[in-house]
Structure 1
Amino acid sequence: MCDYSLHHVMSTPAKVGDVLKTTSFPGSSTRGFCAAGEPNVAVCVMPGTELAFSAEIECDRAIGFLPHRRLGATLARFRQVDLDKPYAHHDAIELPNGRIELLTNLSQGQTATVLQLPADEQAQRATPAEAEPAPARHEPIPLFGL
């Protein structure tokens, strides 16, 4: 997904194998992912997408001159938080240890590869037509050859 403040930015959906880069977009204070080589195109990531960062994930500190805060992981799963708050940042990553960090807090310039997209819930719930039970028959069955 793309955070609410990026709705005015051109975007494209993430695909397996895409190399993404953390960036700030013109006209917005929100950070997100862009395609490597296309800094003005936001890449919208679906919740549940698995990402592999090329180095340990880092966040900016509140005080700009301090060094970046390292999160101790290179793998993350994209998710959304605080969906009940319409004007809050929703895009986040969840680390293997369960820690959740807003995407807008990540340091700029980090690269991540899309490893896996989430399974399609509709496809998981659907059952093949041949697996459906046959409809009940309401025809009388003749007994004893009558």
Structure 2
Amino acid sequence: MCDYSLEMYASRPAREGEIYVTTRFPSGSIGLAAPGDCTTAVCVSYGTQLNLENLPADLQETLKVSASEKIVFTRLESGLHHDGIKFANGSEMPLHRLGAGVLASLVDVEKPVAKEIVHEERVVELEPAE
């Protein structure tokens, strides 16, 4: 989703295969945007997995994470900002705490394999009526 603090900007949904960067919008809020387009907020659905790269060193140390991490975009119930991220180690934080310059991309979601359902034809022979 896009936090309410980004509602005043044009927005669009995230797309598989694109790279985004955390951006400080003119309102001061941090959100995702395509590189070179700081006027359009990119919205991500809660529950979406993202790869983050270029995490700030202070966050790496504080949260015990590396410079690149797979996270889940989540809704935080408390605080001013509700767009949040959850790391594999269970740490959660508001998206805006990342600051500007962190790269993000959607985790490649395997396309579900279509399962072929074979219906057996059942032939029932009826005895002739007498």
TM-score (norm 2): 0.73
Contact 1:49/1:116 (8 A) holds in 2:
no
Percent sequence identity is 34
CA displacement, residues 13-40 of structure 1 (integer Å, 9 cap, x when unaligned): 00111111011111x2321111112111
C-alpha separation between the residues in 1 aligned to 2:95 and 2:76?
A: 11
Q: CA RMSD in A?
A: 3.0
TM-score using structure 1 length: 0.66
Q: Secondary structure at the match of 1:104?
A: helix
Alignment of 1:1-146 (within 5 A): 1-26=1-26, 28-55=27-54, 57-58=55-56, 68-70=58-60, 71=63, 72-73=65-66, 74-75=68-69, 76-82=71-77, 88-116=80-108, 145=129
How far residue 42 of structure 1 moved from its aligned partner, in angstroms, is 0.5
- Unaligned residue ranges in structure 2 (runs of 5+): 112-116, 118-127
Q: Distance between the aligned counterparts of 2:99 and 2:28, measured in 1?
A: 13
> Separation in 1 of the partners of 2:59 and 2:53?
16
When the two structures are aligned, how many residues end up with a matched partner? 117
Within 1, Cα distance between the matches of 2:3 and 2:90? 21
